[in-house]
Amino acid sequence: MSTSNESLQQWIDEVAALTRPDAIRWCDGSEKEYAGLIQQMLGSGELLELNRQRYPNCYLHRSDPSDVARVEHLTFVCTPEQQEAGPNNNWMHPQEARDQMRALFDGCMRGRTMYVVPYCMGPVDSPYSRCGVEITDSAYVVANMRLMTRMGKAALERIEREGGFVKGLHSIGELDPNRRFIMHFPQDLEIQSYGSGYGGNALLGKKCHALRIASYQARSEGWLAEHMLLVEIESPEGEKHYIAAAFPSACGKTNLAMLIPPAAYAGWKVRTIGDDIAWLHVDEAGQLRAINPESGYFGVVPGTSRKTNRNAYEMIQHDTIFTNVALTADQEPWWEGKGEGEPAYDWKGQPVTADRQEPAAHPNSRFTVAAKQNPAYSPLADDPAGVPLSAIIFGGRRREVAPLVYEAFDWNHGVLVGAGVASETTAAATGKVGVVRRDPMAMKPFCGYNFADYWGHWLSFPARARKLPKIFHVNWFRQDRDGNFLWPGFGDNLRVLRWIIDRCEGRVAARETAIGYLPAPADLDTSGLDIDATTLEALLSVDKAAWRKEISAIGEYFQEYGDRLPELLAAELERVASGLQD
């Protein structure tokens, strides 16, 4: 196979000359091709077949034990000026990065097949979608890309029609952490990734393209690429709302996107449009609309059970690739929090002992599954026009300070609320877990340019749009002194979404505080919940002293951005700080 797109053909020829694969294979995205790749990987031992009766077409991949998460310290944004990448990114000069990567890629595909994977992020017929081509030497990556993106023939046709595409070159190399780099060249719409097979480092359509490169591209084209789930909520009366929500990795985006209404909410319907990434565009009528660029989920497995996320639990019973979960004695996948079965082998394939200290499944073990398997899948995920947003929610994992929910005064204040997001770190990235760090808009690991310019871009939207969504902040993770969660979370989060929707519709009043609008306890529906008045008060109050500290910590963080910090954002911070003085 070849292509009529000259720049694509030339790039493939150059990469092949550099990496020297034994064979080049164009991927068409067909069922047959996927089945063939699976057979090949079963033969090579890259995949193990799971219990065929109970988990049909499900496979386990055990990664190299040193390759289980995103590697933020090895991820770079390569722009001519360091200031363009900003203090939020590791930076390398593009020429230095290219030289370094060239040496790594030199001859790295000898004895391997080079796969050419054209893909489209977003519905193939949507003006909001963008295409890319990933060249990789990993069959596991190709199979995952087929589940996660619209991959193959239709994407290539669009590339040939349109011309432009993002170039992504990937090799698993030697899987050596000392020879591992994820480089982004936003000005050239290009990615080079070497030495890792882990999703966020290797499925280049996801974090590398749909967030880092796309955020950069979005700035120059007037849209936003965000780390957000997209959910559709329908009331019993048939009123529909679409909400986008940004939470840091492993903070429950997938759970919220697939929420099952609690018993008291019979008649409410919640459908998933996306669970990780949203691209936001202003339409011709001035309305902010969103698409999910992905077509599958790469979700955290531990904690997924019939009780916590029945939709996810059901969708991963068949046609799923599991990575780094444990195994039961009869070849079923197992993980902490599954709520059934017993592990016999841990994620490394070692027999499990009764006195084990470590979890049997890796805390960042993952499922890869096509979105259409989700019982709550919304067909709107395929709508080229996307969905109009009613609300944008930011949130983090905070033991204290942040109340259950509050609403920003207006868009500009909402940008401050997003820029001030902080969260405890999780296993989705290598490094210490449970430390609070600033994670503006949940984009700390994913914004492809200087955060100060990114906030400036957010602040440009009132001038671009006629109708913007309201902005809120939530925190499902408040704890008491003994470490008990104050809010039940999961399905009951719909109660909070209902207040948010009522605010969007102007149906409910709110208490004005220095940090934004909060619900009066009586306005948050807690009927049928075992939650006392003191706990509710704690969830819905603003501790001024704690907030003064929080605002000064945000101010200190902003100082890292020096003169580039937008004045409007500094003014918003000042407004909140002065409200907290009295």
Catalytic positions are 251
Closest CA to 517 of 416, 407, 392: 407
Cβ-proximal residue to ligand OXD, closest one: 249
- The binder of 198, among ligand OXD, Mn ion, none, by C-beta within 5 to 8 A per type, is none
How many angstroms separate the CA atoms of 72 and 75, rounded? Answer: 5
How many angstroms separate the CA atoms of 405 and 496, rounded? Answer: 7
List the one residue from 76, 185, 223, 298 that touches ligand OXD (CB under 6 A): 298
Smallest separation, CB 229 to ligand OXD (Å): 10
Near ligand OXD in 225-244, by CB under 6 A: none
170 binds ligand OXD (CB under 6 A): no
DSSP code for 432: -
Gyration radius of the chain's alpha carbons: 23
Smallest separation, CB 245 to ligand OXD (Å): 13
Near ligand OXD in 59-78, by CB under 6 A: 70
Q: Judged by CB, which is closer to ligand OXD: 213, or 468?
A: 213
Q: How many residues bind ligand OXD (CB under 6 A)?
A: 7
List the one residue from 200, 293, 333, 386 that touches ligand OXD (CB under 6 A): 200
152 binds ligand OXD (CB under 6 A): no
List the one residue from 46, 67, 276, 294 that touches Mn ion (CB under 5 A): 276
List the one residue from 190, 232, 276, 332 that touches ligand OXD (CB under 6 A): 276
How many angstroms separate the CA atoms of 206 and 170, rounded? Answer: 13
Q: Judged by CB, which is closer to ligand OXD: 200, or 296?
A: 200
534-537, Cβ contacts within 8 angstroms, sequence gap of 24 or more: 535/486
Q: Judged by CB, which is closer to Mn ion: 190, or 276?
A: 276
Closest CA to 325 of 298, 346, 354, 299: 346
Near Mn ion in 283-322, by CB under 5 A: none
3-state secondary structure 267-331: CCEEEEEECCCEEEEECCCCEEEEECCCCEEEEECCCCCCCCCHHHHHHCCCCCEEECCEECCCC
How many angstroms separate the CA atoms of 344 and 218, rounded? Answer: 47
How many angstroms separate the CA atoms of 213 and 524, rounded? Answer: 40
Residue that is written with structure tokens 């591992």 in the block? 180
Spatial neighbors of 451 by CB under 8 A, at least 6 apart, are 86, 87, 88, 419, 440, 443, 561
252 binds ligand OXD (CB under 6 A): no
Q: Judged by CB, which is closer to ligand OXD: 67, or 276?
A: 276
Smallest separation, CB 408 to ligand OXD (Å): 24
428 binds ligand OXD (CB under 6 A): yes
Smallest separation, CB 253 to ligand OXD (Å): 8
Cβ-proximal residue to Mn ion, closest one: 276
Stretch that binds Mn ion, among 271-279, 483-491, 507-515, 537-545 (CB under 5 A): 271-279
Identify the sign of the CA torsion 379, 471, 405, 200: positive
Strands 278-282 and 288-291: antiparallel
365 binds ligand OXD (CB under 6 A): no
Smallest separation, CB 508 to Mn ion (Å): 31
Question: 186: how many CB neighbours lie within 10 A of its CB?
Answer: 24
209 binds ligand OXD (CB under 6 A): no
Smallest separation, CB 200 to ligand OXD (Å): 5
Burial of 533: CB neighbours in 10 Å, binned 0-12, 13-18, 19+:
exposed
Which parts of 104-152 are beta strand (E)? 113-121, 130-136, 150-151
Q: Judged by CB, which is closer to ligand OXD: 70, or 470?
A: 70
261 binds ligand OXD (CB under 6 A): no
Q: Judged by CB, which is closer to ligand OXD: 276, or 424?
A: 276
- The binder of 279, among ligand OXD, Mn ion, none, by C-beta within 5 to 8 A per type, is none
- The binder of 271, among ligand OXD, Mn ion, none, by C-beta within 5 to 8 A per type, is none
Near Mn ion in 190-249, by CB under 5 A: 249
Structural contact between residues 381 and 272, judged by C-beta atoms closer than 8 angstroms = yes
Smallest separation, CB 545 to Mn ion (Å): 33
Length of the chain: 582
Burial of 236: CB neighbours in 10 Å, binned 0-12, 13-18, 19+:
exposed
249 binds ligand OXD (CB under 6 A): yes
Smallest separation, CB 249 to Mn ion (Å): 5
Spatial neighbors of 319 by CB under 8 A, at least 6 apart, are 56, 57, 58, 369, 370, 373
Q: Judged by CB, which is closer to Mn ion: 246, or 282?
A: 246
Structural contact between residues 404 and 487, judged by C-beta atoms closer than 8 angstroms = yes
Q: Judged by CB, which is closer to Mn ion: 388, or 431?
A: 431
Smallest separation, CB 442 to Mn ion (Å): 8
Structural contact between residues 262 and 479, judged by C-beta atoms closer than 8 angstroms = no
134 binds Mn ion (CB under 5 A): no
Residue that is written with structure tokens 């409200």 in the block? 579
Q: Judged by CB, which is closer to ligand OXD: 200, or 395?
A: 200
Q: Which residues bind Mn ion (CB under 5 A)?
A: 249, 276
Q: Which residues bind ligand OXD (CB under 6 A)?
A: 70, 199-200, 249, 276, 298, 428
